[in-house]
Amino acid sequence: MTGNVAQVFVVEEDWRATLAAIRASLRGGGRLVLETRDPARRAWEEWTRAATWTRVQVPGVGEVETWIDLTAVALPLVSFRTSFVFHADGAVLTSDSTLRFRDRAEVTASLTAAGFVIDEVREAPDRPGREMVFVATTGQPPP
């Protein structure tokens, strides 16, 4: 579960159902690896236009500007808007998103409740101090 996809499950029942479905689809000894932002790091404080604005040249499309604006913080939920401006025709597209920030204890409890054994929790090697990577298994494979 890469790219912090675990955070898109903002409703607890959806998160539990997803973990249960993953657990049911894995054989004994199967692994689930997920990464999620560490809420203690407060990454959303950097989600401003000034900090995220960029302009890129996209082949076949032309120049595109993009940035993120924080729209709401009601922990554990954080909402933001990503904007895209296409200079070729002036089109502006926006995408509104909400993420759920779970701390280590909450992720651990939810994985354990779903029947996983946590083998380790480490930092993302390319984002030290920003994310937690959980490595969990379904337990020992059958003999």
pLDDT in tens, 83-131: 999 999 999 999 999 999 999 999 999 999 999 999 999 999 888 889 9
H helices present in 74-129, as ranges = 104-113
Distance CA 65, CA 126 (A): 25
Is 100 within 8 Å of 9 (Cβ atoms)?
A: yes
We find that the CATH architecture of domain 1-38+103-143 is: 3-Layer(aba) Sandwich (3.40)
Distance CA 27, CA 63 (A): 47
Domain parsing of the chain, residue ranges: 1-38+103-143, 44-102
Q: What is the pLDDT of residue 141?
A: 58
| Percent of the chain whose pLDDT exceeds 90 | 87
